[in-house]
Amino acid sequence: MKTYKQGFALLLSSALLLSMSAAVSAEEEEIEYVPLQAEVLNPIGAASVWDVNSHSVLFKLRNGLVGKVTVGSTQYEIGNKTGSFPAAVILEGTTALIPEDDNFIKNVNLENASGNVLDIARQSKAKMFKVKADMETEPAEQSGDAADDPSVWVHPNHPEKSLIIGANKKASPGGIEAYNLNGQRVGSYGVGKMNNVDVRYNFKLNGQKVDIAASTNRTTNQINIFAIHPSTGVLTEVTGNNLASHMEEVYGFSLYQSQRSGKMYGLITGKDGEFEQWELFDNGSGKVDGKLVRELKLGSVTEGIVADDEYGKFYVAEENVAIWKFNAEPDGGLLPEARIDTVDGIRLTADVEGLAIYYAEDGKGYLIASSQGSNRYALYDREDGEYVTTFMVGDGNTIDGTSETDGIDVISYGLGNRYPNGFFITQDDTNTEPDGSVANQNYKVVAWEKIAKGSDDKLEMKGVDPRKMKKR
C-alpha cells in the first residue's frame, strides 16, 4: 500500500502541563496517509464521488449506508455515526487522502459486509453469441484514432432517410459526420475534435420544435449543438455562448430529455472522472445556451454515458471499475443509486466504453455496454438491471467484425424495409478490408432482429418512436 506521510507537532495544553506538574516538550509524530477512494473504498465495492462544492468524498456502502469525509476536517460520517481521524484529511492534486485509521477502516468494512442493496442484481455467468454486420459506413477520412461515437437521427416522415451521425476526433475536415443508411457520407462539419454525439427530438427553439444533435468538442472544451433540418437532415450549428465546460478536458456525452419537467440537459464526463450536467435552453436569439446545474467526480476515468429518458436515469461507465446508475434529474443527488455490474473480466473487461439504451414497448428494453477489452457487447435488463446476454460482431464475407469498440448506439424504431426493427451500430477500431488490408476506422451496423433472435433468451423486438417517450 502506498502511504503518504506528514510530520506535525503534538502540543500539550498548559492545563495538562499543570496537572502533570512537569514540563513536557512537544513531540513529533508521523501520520501515514492513504488514498480514500483507490485503496479503501474501491477494493470493497463501495460507490464514491467527489463533491466539488463541499470538498468532500461522499460514499455509499453495499448495505446502503452513506458516508462523508471532508478535506480539512478530522471528522467523518458513516450513516448516523461520526468518528475522528488522528489528523485532518488532505488533498493531493485531485486525490483525497485520509490518515490511516484502524477504527474507520474497521467500521467501513463491518457495515459494508452487513448487506447488499448497492448492487442492483446478482449477475449471472456470461453467455455469448455472434452476429455479422449488415452494413458498414465509409471509412473516416483521417487515419489513426478518428471515428469515435455514433448516434441515429430518425427522419420524421421517411424513416428510410434517417441518418447516422458520428463524432470524429480529428479536427479537419469534419468533426461531425453524417451518413445515410447505405453507409455513404452525406455531410461533414469541421467544428473541432468531437468526442461523443447524441440526438434528441422536439427541442423548443425559435418558437418551434426542432431535432438536435449535440457533442463534446475537445478543441474548444465545450458542448456544440446542431439543429437538424426535418426533411434534408442538414445540420446547422446553433451553439450559444455559455456552453464551455469547467473540467480540464471534455470526453463522453449524452443528452437527457426529462419526461418530468420537459427540460433538455447535456451530460458530460471527463478523463479524471468528472461529471457535469448542463440545462440547455433557447437564448432568445436562435441559439442554445446552458447553465451548469450539477457536478461531481467519480474515482477514475469515465467516458461512456447514456440517459434513459423514460425512467429518468442515466448510466455512466467508470472504465476500469463499474457501470453506475444515477438519478438523471438535477436534484437527484450526487451518489449513484446502484451498480449495474463490475469490470471484473467476466461480463465486462476494461475498458468499458460506449453505452446505449434499447427502448422497447411498455418500459421494457436493454442497457447495452461495449466491453472494449473483450470485443463484446453486454446486455442488461432496462427495468431491473439483470444481465441478459453478450454478443460479438464477427467477420462476414465482405464486412469484417468489430474490435476495441469505443462508441455504440441502438435504435428500436423501424427504419424502412431494410431495418424494420431498427439496428445496433458500433465503432470499429481496426477496420479490415476483404483483402486483409487495414482501412481507416468506421461504423458497423447490425439489424436488430439478428441480435434478438440470436440470443438463447429471445429479446424484445417491439420498439418505440423516439419522438413519443413516456414517463415511467
CA distances from 181 to 185, 188, 213, 215 (A): 10, 16, 17, 21
Calpha distance 334→274 (Å, rounded): 12
Q: What is the pLDDT of residues 283-335, one digit of tens each?
A: 999 999 999 999 999 999 999 999 999 999 999 999 999 999 999 999 999 99
Task: Quote the cell numbers at residue 52.
Answer: 466539488
**pLDDT for res 22:** 35
Q: What is the pLDDT of residues 243-257, one digit of tens each?
A: 999 999 999 999 999
**pLDDT for res 159:** 97
8 Å CB contact between 341 and 347: yes
Q: What is the pLDDT of residues 6-54, one digit of tens each?
A: 433 333 333 333 333 333 333 346 899 999 999 999 999 999 999 999 9
Q: What is the pLDDT of residues 214-269, one digit of tens each?
A: 999 999 999 999 999 999 999 999 999 999 999 999 999 999 999 999 999 999 99
8 Å CB contact between 224 and 239: yes
Strands (E), 343-461: 352-359, 365-371, 376-381, 387-394, 408-411, 423-428, 431-432, 438-439, 442-447
Calpha distance 420→278 (Å, rounded): 35
Torsion of CA 226, 231, 234, 236, to 10 degrees: -40
8 Å CB contact between 405 and 375: yes
Give Cβ neighbours of residue 397 (< 8 Å, ≥ 6 apart). Answer: 434
R_g (Cα) of the chain, nearest Å: 25
**pLDDT for res 391:** 98
**pLDDT for res 1:** 44
361: helix, strand or coil: helix
CA distances from 363 to 30, 73, 153, 357, 385 (A): 56, 45, 21, 11, 13
**Site of grid cell 500539550:** 12
**pLDDT for res 448:** 98
Where residue 207 falls (left for φ over 0; alpha for ψ -120 to 50; beta otherwise) is left
Total residues belonging to the chain: 472
Q: What is the pLDDT of residues 351-403, one digit of tens each?
A: 999 999 999 999 999 999 999 999 999 999 999 999 999 999 999 999 999 99
8 Å CB contact between 440 and 433: no
The amino acid sitting at 255 is L
**pLDDT for res 282:** 98
Where does residue 284 rank: exposed (0-12), middle (13-18), buried (19+ CB within 10 A)? exposed
**pLDDT for res 29:** 62
Residue range 178-203: mean pLDDT, rounded? 97
Q: What is the pLDDT of residues 118-166, one digit of tens each?
A: 999 888 889 999 999 999 999 999 999 999 999 999 999 999 999 999 9
Residue range 66-94: mean pLDDT, rounded? 96
**pLDDT for res 122:** 81
State the CATH architecture for 4-112. 2-Layer Sandwich (3.30)
Task: Quote the cell numbers at residue 296.
Answer: 461531481
Residue range 459-472: mean pLDDT, rounded? 97
Of 3.40.630.30, 1.20.1250.20, 2.120.10.30, 1.10.10.10, the CATH number of 129-454 is 2.120.10.30
**pLDDT for res 5:** 46
Calpha distance 113→111 (Å, rounded): 5
pLDDT more than 90, % of the chain? 90
Dihedral angle sign, alpha carbons of residues 423, 388, 303, 143: negative
**pLDDT for res 284:** 96
Count CB-CB contacts under 10 A for residue 114. 12
The full set of domain ranges for the chain reads 4-112, 129-454
